[in-house]
Structure 1
Amino acid sequence: MSAQELAADRSAAKLAAARFAAAQWTRATGAGVDPHEYLGVTDGLTSVADWGPSFLRTGQGYLKRAEEAGSPVSAGEYLLMAARWFHLATLAPCAGDVEGGKQAEAHRAAVEADHALSRALTVLDSGARRVSGDGFTGWLRGPADAPGIVVVVPGLDSAKEEFLDVVSALLARGLAVYAMDGPGQGVLTATTTLSHAYERVVGRVIDALGAPRVGLVGLSLGGYFAARAAALEPRVAAVATVSGPYRLCWEELPEPVRDIMVRRAGGTDPARAFARHVDLAALAPRITAPMLVVDGDRDVIPGVTNGEALARLAPRGSYLSVPHGDHLLGNARPDWLPQLSDHLTRTLTGAPAWTP
């Protein structure tokens, strides 16, 4: 290869890394990492292959800060930030990774994220309780006498460490919150695969929590999981979805999304079968709990049908569409997170709408 060709390859690799970083921008900043630090880390990427190692190093830097912190609160805050960076490290593409090195790197990052979150909550929230069972694990937080419990359900490549702001918003309203990883998600990706029958997982979670009823909030593919569970698990008393698919079409999905689904489902055939199940047309009319469906108008992933039909077909559904919102609406948090949190709070507690 000539020097000119080598330079062109390097330039193309750096451009691909920049495009990938730009695509993850609002997701990462919505998850709570500092936008300036994100730009600093991603500006140094020479290829997409650098993503995982660079984000792992950043997370490890926060672990070191936690060790050197001047107070338990500071240590806990650094550990929470480490958990965020470790989780984002798992988003690195693994397509074509014949040897499995990138998958192993992602699994390591997921374990690091889980461990950092566990350490953070031990310091910051003495009442937090780890609750695990068949196909799920997570943290229950909030007062023991809370008037309601909300289960936060992640999506295809998200995890309990990604939605700490959602957890905080619900805790601030006096609710208890269980942030979970389910089959094929988060720290469980190395030992389990995606399951479309998420109502069974939610049922086991409710049993483990000892709750007579719960609210659900599902994000991205978690929106499908939450809606399906609300249709089939009678103990779901309130539900909200954010960027959740009403229907998936395997043939139209972008290749990176299919690659993730293949890894999380355990192969191409299981992934295709999983995608066929993601269709809420028959289930939506069975969702009797009050439901809020949140979409961003700029969320236009091919092969994914947004939630307008879900809200329309659910007997007590309502629809919030944010014109400038993208997938997961990380660029529009104030336009939906307060409304979603209030919806779940009012539904679970029976509190009247607040008037200033």
Structure 2
Amino acid sequence: MSFFDTPDQLPAFVEVNRPRAHGAGLDLYEYDRATAGLTSLLDWPAAFGAVGQHHLDEAVRAAAEGRTVTAGAGYRCAARWFHAAGLLPHPDRAAAARLATAADEAMRASLALLEPDARRVEGEGFAGWLRRPAADGAAPVVLVVPGMDSSKEEFHALVDALLARGVAVLAIDGPGQGVLAADSAPEPDYHRVVGRALDALAAHDGLDLARAAVVGLSLGGYYAAVAAAHEPRLRAAVTVSGPYRLDWDALPPFVTDTLVQRCGTPEAARAFAARLDLTDLAPAITLPLLVVEGGEDRIPGVTNATVLARHALNAELLLVPHGNHLLGTALPDWLPTTADWLATRLA
């Protein structure tokens, strides 16, 4: 049975994504209004896209009137909503690609107004934004890696927390993610993507690449662990709600349908899921590793990365008992601590 054919999927999906919306910075009252009128999840992209367009129009108006701060914040809000509009494995992939582009362009407009020193960094298999802290001197840098259905436009709170602690951030879309999803498939050997991103950062001033780290969220947590095992230039790594291993036959339809869309075929998706297993790699991760997990994070077919914390040689576990997947229900309990942990390791 496909995701959209699953009975009673609409109210369950709205409820389970409410904490994620909160974590991504969407106003929850606005989220409730956007979802209240839905009669089918097929209408989700249009409903969320309309909210994004409203914020975009308001930002354009504010910019024309010289209200720069308001305009910049409005563009960023639009980027969040355009990203959230594309979460589903919707059959209209052209519309999903347009939403990803709209999110990317809205973020570009926001940074142009509020952080003109931000730079686009892109190369083979990745595209993202490099943002620098206000502090003087060469800054350490953290790569922020999104997950299966996510993008660089989702994790603003984490990026802002790192910037506030004097850390530069490169938030990227990789293969099968964000603006690259329409033309690429997910890459299990994600350390190659991280390596190319670090290579590209060498062309940018004001960074201390001897102090580099990676943080990955959801499927991005697996990618961060792979990079930690393979990329010698990293000093530390963090996984947030990352998988340790997947069992394809037990995964829910949302996950399998999304992977089939992103990978291209059911066979490719199944093969990709089979590659996602950290059993052999865990002992090779010797750098400082923080594993952040929520005690309420239970996805069928997913073995959580709490196992990784037991088998990696220099790992710490931050377990929040009431946290869900991505811990949108527990932001104060993990986000400041994680940002401090990274800043300290890169000091």
Q: Give the Cα–Cα distance (whole angstroms) in 1 for the partners of residues 210 and 270 of structure 2.
A: 35
Aligned to 1:280, the other structure's residue is in SS state coil
* 1:209 maps to amino acid: L
CA shift, 1:44, in A, is: 1.1
CA shift, 1:191, in A, is: 1.1
Aligned to 2:183: 191
Aligned to 1:336, the other structure's residue is in SS state helix
Change (3 A) 1:204 1:213: farther
Which one of 230, 239, 254 corresponds to residue 252 of structure 2?
254
1:278-320 Cα shifts (integer Å, max 9, x gaps)? 1111111111110100111111000101111111111110001
* 2:213 maps to amino acid: G
Change (3 A) 1:313 1:265: same
Which one of 90, 113, 116 corresponds to residue 86 of structure 2?
90
Aligned to 1:81: 77
Aligned to 1:141: 131
- The gaps in structure 2 that reach 5 residues or longer are 203-208
Aligned to 2:321: 323
Change (3 A) 1:165 1:57: same
Q: Give the Cα–Cα distance (whole angstroms) in 1 for the partners of residues 123 and 25 of structure 2.
A: 28
Q: Give the Cα–Cα distance (whole angstroms) in 2 for the partners of residues 244 and 290 of structure 1.
A: 16
Change (3 A) 1:13 1:315: closer
Aligned to 2:20: 27
Q: Give the Cα–Cα distance (whole angstroms) in 2 for the partners of residues 265 and 16 of structure 1.
A: 23
Q: Give the Cα–Cα distance (whole angstroms) in 2 for the partners of residues 91 and 139 of structure 1.
A: 21
Choose 143-152 or 66-75, whichever is displaced more: 143-152
Provide the aligned C-alpha RMSD in A: 1.5
1:202-224 Cα shifts (integer Å, max 9, x gaps)? 00000000134411000000000
- TM-score, scaled to structure 1: 0.91
* 1:127 maps to amino acid: D
Q: Give the Cα–Cα distance (whole angstroms) in 1 for the partners of residues 300 and 9 of structure 2.
A: 20
Aligned to 1:291: 289
Kept in 2, the 8 Å contact 1:26–1:330? The answer is yes
Change (3 A) 1:252 1:174: same
- The gaps in structure 1 that reach 5 residues or longer are 1-11, 350-356
1:144-202 Cα shifts (integer Å, max 9, x gaps)? 73431000000000000000110000000000000000000001001111010000000
In the alignment, is residue 279 of structure 1 matched against residue 271 of structure 2?
no
Kept in 1, the 8 Å contact 2:144–2:169? The answer is yes
Structure-to-structure mapping, 1:230-269, within 5 angstroms: 230-269=228-267
Kept in 2, the 8 Å contact 1:296–1:327? The answer is yes
1:37-78 Cα shifts (integer Å, max 9, x gaps)? 100110011211110001111100001110222511100000
Q: Give the Cα–Cα distance (whole angstroms) in 1 for the partners of residues 22 and 37 of structure 2.
A: 18
Aligned to 2:146: 154
Kept in 2, the 8 Å contact 1:146–1:176? The answer is no
- TM-score, scaled to structure 2: 0.93
Q: Give the Cα–Cα distance (whole angstroms) in 1 for the partners of residues 11 and 343 of structure 2.
A: 40
Aligned to 1:164: 156
Kept in 2, the 8 Å contact 1:18–1:43? The answer is no
Q: Give the Cα–Cα distance (whole angstroms) in 1 for the partners of residues 310 and 103 of structure 2.
A: 37
Q: Give the Cα–Cα distance (whole angstroms) in 2 for the partners of residues 238 and 13 of structure 1.
A: 41
Kept in 2, the 8 Å contact 1:294–1:336? The answer is yes
Kept in 1, the 8 Å contact 2:282–2:312? The answer is yes
CA shift, 1:16, in A, is: 3.7
Q: Give the Cα–Cα distance (whole angstroms) in 2 for the partners of residues 16 and 213 of structure 1.
A: 45
* 1:160 maps to amino acid: K
CA shift, 1:14, in A, is: 11
How many residues align? The count is 332
CA shift, 1:13, in A, is: 10
* 1:88 maps to amino acid: A
Q: Give the Cα–Cα distance (whole angstroms) in 2 for the partners of residues 110 and 14 of structure 1.
A: 28
* 1:116 maps to amino acid: A
Aligned to 1:307: 305
In the alignment, is residue 43 of structure 1 matched against residue 36 of structure 2?
yes
Kept in 2, the 8 Å contact 1:13–1:47? The answer is no
1:75-95 Cα shifts (integer Å, max 9, x gaps)? 00000000000000001342x
Aligned-pair identity in percent equals 53
Aligned to 1:118: 108
Q: Give the Cα–Cα distance (whole angstroms) in 1 for the partners of residues 31 and 338 of structure 2.
A: 27
Highest Rg: 1 or 2? 1
